[in-house]
Homo-oligomer: A and B are copies of this chain.
Amino acid sequence: MSVMRLGYVHVRVTDLEEAKSHYGNTMGLLEVANEGNKVFYKGWDEYDHHSVVLEEGGVGLVKLGYKVSESSDLDDIEIKATRFGATVERMAKGDNLSVGDGLRITLPSDHVVEIYHEIEYLGTETGRINPDPWPRFRRGVGAPRIDHALITVEEPALVERFFADVMSFMVSERVIVSNENPEVIGSWMYCAGTPHDIAFIKGPNGKLHHFAFALESWSDVLHAGDIFAMDDVPVDVGPTRHGITRGQTIYYFDPSGNRNEVFTGGYLTFPDFPSITWTADQLAKGIFYISRELNERFTSVLT
């Protein structure tokens, strides 16, 4: 049984044309399909059909899609999710453009997660035969792929248990109140080799804090920041380094106010990775390692 990765993020945007300019021109994603009120994108280094879905009307997260390595994983997760007490339904091939049969699970935090194995293969922009390391003509930030999402949940320990028991995710880092009070107030979990495929912090159920695009280097983070200034993208925080995950980052907003992140760096994870613990008194350092300060906007703006 194995979840491989966050496959897609489906979000609402207030104005589709503005959003297309942001995700297409500024972020450099490739538009792969357009259903009128929904537009589908992928990064240049992604081979599946899409990784970002924009749906016109409102803001915030519609759902996250996680791809499993085998069809039989769907049955396995269905059983475990049901046993856990989550709401699970089967989704049909075609419910999502190009995506096969799968599961639609409502988390204890009211977020919707879809699990699927089949999705149309499109291939990367560099191809599979004697490929260049990157496409000669990239647009804007030139994001190669999505990386993870961070959601807010009322009961982090409960949602952590869901991802551990049902999805076989593991904890890379966890924030607890203190050594005396080990209540979990944030958790970063992985299914594969990166520091996180999902993360959640204590907050209102059903909300999105941000979803992230992976970049290749700290230099690319600066380049992204420059593009954000050129294209008038509101920046929340960064460039800076995270203590948690050790990665480098800029947080910013799409034109509808959904927070995005560009992220690079971070360690490798393995099934035996020894989880890291942060205490709440060091939370600001854990989030923004260099400044050791959290701004009000970062902790309060959710969609």
Known: A193-B193, A267-B45, A274-B128. A134 touches B226 (CB 8 A): yes
Chain B, Cβ-Cβ closest to A292: B229
- Chain B residue numbers with a CB within 8 Å of A45 are 267
Bound-state Cα–Cα, A59 to B282, Å: 30
Map CB proximity to B onto A272-302 as digits: 1 under 8 Å, 0 otherwise: 1011111100100110011110000000000
Contact with A129, one of B225, B240, B246, B277 (Cβ below 8 angstroms): B277
Known: A133-B289, A285-B229, A290-B250. A272 touches B128 (CB 8 A): no
Chain B, Cβ-Cβ closest to A47: B274
A130/B279 in contact, CB under 8 A: yes
Scan residues 114-134 of chain A and give those whose CB is less than 8 A from a CB of chain B: 121, 123, 128-134
How many copies of the shown chain assemble into the complex? 4
Scan residues 81-122 of chain A and give those whose CB is less than 8 A from a CB of chain B: 121
Asked if A268 is an interface residue, CB under 8 A from chain B, the answer is yes
B275/A128 in contact, CB under 8 A: yes
Interface residues of chain A, those whose CB is within 8 Å of chain B, are 2, 4-5, 45, 47, 67, 69, 121, 123, 128-134, 136, 145, 192-194, 214, 216-219, 222, 225-230, 235, 238-241, 243, 246, 248, 250, 265, 267-272, 274-279, 282, 285-286, 289-292
The 5 A-B residue pairs whose C-beta atoms are closest, nearest first, are A193-B193, A219-B219, A225-B290, A69-B271, A133-B246
